[in-house]
Structure 1
Amino acid sequence: MKKIIIISISLFVLIACNSNEKKSKSTAQNNSVTKQDLPLLKESIERGKIIYNKLCITCHLTDGKGVSKIFPPLADSDFLQENQTESIKAIKHGLTGKITVNGIDYNSVMSPLGLSNKEVADAINYINNNWGNNIDNFVTPEKVSEL
């Protein structure tokens, strides 16, 4: 009986460690910038700035600080740092429901922006590299499509 319990717990831990959510997070978060990527990342950031200024600036403002308790900040955002997959999905598909950013709860709606995978990648690369964010994650259109 003791062996069965130990085997069951071991299988449970093994399955939990290989969940789809964990794989999804690693897909988006383990894409560190290499020296070869730097020119591509720089171009992506420049395109992302244009997208941000057209679509995101209204709610998240020019400084990325958002509007307290209404639109979450992107500047120095713990949510952005810890939830790259969810952040990318929010840009692509919109976001509803409660999230907590830098200790403050937000429960508003972000509508889908109708962006292509390339535009989503460019926008997140711009956001990841501005306003105190230094997230070592080069998001490509291919990574966006995987999500």
Structure 2
Amino acid sequence: MKFLVGSYFIIVSCLAYFMIQDKELKESMQRGEQIYTDFCITCHLANGEGVAYTYPPLAKSDYLMNNREASIKGVKYGQRGPLIVNGVTYDNTMMPLGLENEEIVDVMNYVLNSFGNSGAKTVTLEEVNTILK
């Protein structure tokens, strides 16, 4: 009986944690969509597909999914030089956007969970705070 009660408590606790986490991610993504619209849409376009050979796609981006820290660093400090996204080389400059760390969290959560990207662990403020130039 103690085992059943203990198991029940663990299951309910886990479900509550994931429900809260999902709500927080959804709210972060909503804020991130607005930031994307304000800062990113000009180059990466509304559908996240970018401009061929000029601005890399964020949609279904292998680079974003496989280079999480570098992606966050690029949003935080800007990015210069070549990178390969979905097999295509892009060699351009992305200037720093001047976003606060909280805004970087939100826009990264939006991008990593939109445009055909999925399954990424939620980006946290602590994670962004640790990214140094």
- TM-based fold match above 0.5: yes
Determine the structure 2 residue equivalent to 1:130: 114
Question: Counterpart amino acid of 1:79?
Answer: Y
| Deviation, structure 1 residue 35 | 3.8
Partner amino acid for 1:46? Q
AA aligned opposite 1:90: G
**Structure 1 residue ranges, 4+ long, deviating more than 6 angstroms after superposition:** none
Are 1:93 and 1:111, in contact at CA under 8 Å, matched by a contact in 2? yes
Q: Deviations over 1:79-117 (max 9, x none)?
A: 001001000011110000100000000000000000011
Which residue of 1 is the match for residue 8 of structure 2? none
In 2, distance between residues paired with 1:138 and 1:98? 27
- Paired with 1:60 and 1:105, the residues of 2 have a C-alpha distance of 15
Q: Offset of 1:37 from its aligned partner?
A: 1.1
Q: Distance in 2 between matches of 1:83 and 1:106?
A: 15
Q: Is the 8 A contact 2:56 2:90 kept in 1?
A: yes
Higher strand share: 2
The number of aligned residues is 115
Residue 106 (structure 1) aligned with residue 90 (structure 2): yes
CA contact (8 A) 2:65 2:120 kept: no
What secondary structure, in the 3-state scheme, does the structure 1 residue paired with 2:89 have? strand
Counterpart AA for 1:55: F
Cα RMSD of the aligned pairs, angstroms, is 1.2
Distance across 1 between alignment mates of 2:119 and 2:68: 9
Q: Residue type of the partner of 2:30? A: E
Aligned to 1:68: 52
Does residue 146 of structure 1 match 2:130? yes
